[in-house]
A and B are shown apart, each in its own frame.
Chain A
Amino acid sequence: MHIPDGFLSTPVAAAGITAAAGTIAYAVKATNKKMGEKQVPMMGVLAAFIFAAQMLNFPVAGGTSGHFLGAALAAIILGPWSAVLIMSCVLMVQCFIFQDGGLLALGANILNMGVIAVFVSYFTYKGIFTVMRGSRTGRLVAAGVGGWISVVTSALACAAELVISGIVPWQVAVPAMGTVHMAIGVGEGLITVAVLALIMGTRADLLNLQQPA
């Protein structure tokens, strides 16, 4: 759901850039001097993995495709502030080098997919994981729901920006963006669960990398 230039009004694009820049600055401050020995390579390989996985669009109903986002996975493995940084790096490279997502819309895209998706999935994951008493099943269920909800809320934030920009009425944008991303979110949830199950089965210690938020 990378927004191209032209869809957003100038005030909405400017607000997006301001919000994204402020959040990234805070994320740098929150993680500075805290990256541990294993987090350094993890930040690198996770950014590479998320970029590559985002290229693999999978078909959903009605001649539409969706792709993995990765915000939930990054938030679960590294915590929300590191995840904001990873997602912002991925979105910037996609925008600057591959012209995926508009230059002026970059702030809004970072806000939707790199900030809102990260925090919504992180708190959903934490909440369900705690309610299910930290069990193995609880962790996987929490990751699946977290992945799904990250895509849906990200799409609704995108819809809201289009509505405020005056390009499409909310009666159209909200149901349309919501419905298609509820389907795409299922893929997100499944991939997040699969990757997490793989990590839990091989290197469970890597799930305890994040600093207390």
Chain B
Amino acid sequence: MITLNNVTKKYGSFTAIDKLSLEIKEGEITGLLGPNGAGKTTTMRMITGYFPPCEGKVFVDGYEVSKEPEKVKSILGYLPENPPLYGEMITLDYLRYIAGVRAIPGEEAILKTAETCGIREVLHKRIDQLSKGYKQRVGLAQAILHDPKILILDEPTAGLDPNQIAEVRDLIREIGKTKTVILSTHILQEVEAVADRVVIINQGRIVEDDSTGNLQSVRRGRYWIRMIISGEGAEESNGLFKEIPGVVEAKVVPGEEYLTTLQILASAESDVRPLLFRTVRDRNWTLYEMSREKHSLESVFRELTTGGSNEQHS
């Protein structure tokens, strides 16, 4: 549906996007994740045809964006970071204007979209008198009014309160059932909550690209196990655990008093938990706790975008 082919974008001497390639399939909800200034907005602007890349090509639904911008713009809905609203306009008039530019006849589409976005009750209010949450919804209404195949949302929940965030996310999930959606954010929970796939961008490059489910549990083929035991010699047990096949690393970390807390890094090919349990039983230690930890998206993100090899995770 959307293809970026070795795309580079420079602002003067600063390279915002560096030979980025990305393929997004129809019907996917993709989260573009990255710290501020990573190149999320730039990537989106090239897809929407706001500006062309310096090198490389962008295709949307088979059309090259710089060659047939009008075709692309007509099947695409875009909500920029700041909702593009004219404060002096009445909501309904604003939506009529968008409908006019997009050549959508009649009021039906406007009313239906207003219903979907929950802005029926503010249709007759001036836009600059709306709350931030309503403004965001009017922005969203503007983006989906022409029932686009593709929806591009730049930080759609930025600046909203927790209730509004939840509402907008529900809305995106609902709309995303029938459309290809790309949303950018620097909030990890958002991607976990909404997206099927996460693309992490840092300094203009893709550093990770996976389904949200995969990213959370396994990273680079490894996972962590947290174990709490007690018994004679338990404090020095990490040496013993290291010898178990499949265990990459085992270390004692501070934890509950009189108990030994261990963190064990294992490779993903085998589940080492049965072996760990047997070792504990053979030594006659007491097992208080053993859990395989989900590698939280947060730690993956931090690791990938700071470029650190910091394996310590929270």
Judge: A and B partners, yes or no: no
Interface residues of B (CB under 8 A from A): none
Interface residues of A (CB under 8 A from B): none
